[in-house]
Amino acid sequence: MEKNLDKYYTELDKELQQLALVDWATFVDLIGNDSIVSAKICMLKSRGLSLNQISNRLSVTRRVAQVRCEKCTKPGYTLVKIN
Per-residue model confidence as pLDDT tens digits over 14-49: 999 999 999 999 999 999 999 999 999 999 998 999
Domain assignment present for 61? yes
CB-side neighbour CA atoms (13 Å) of 17: 7
* Cα–Cα distance for residue pair 72/42, rounded to 1 Å: 6
The pLDDT of residue 83: 58
Domain assignment present for 37? yes
Domain assignment present for 32? yes
Domain assignment present for 80? no
Number of domains the chain contains? 1
Query: What average pLDDT does the segment 61-73 reach?
Result: 91
Give which of 82, 79, 15, 2 is closest to 42, Cα–Cα. Answer: 79
The pLDDT of residue 1: 44
The pLDDT of residue 64: 96
Domain assignment present for 1? no
The pLDDT of residue 73: 76
Confidence of residue 71 (pLDDT cuts 50, 70, 90): confident
**48 is in which domain, residue-wise?**
8-72
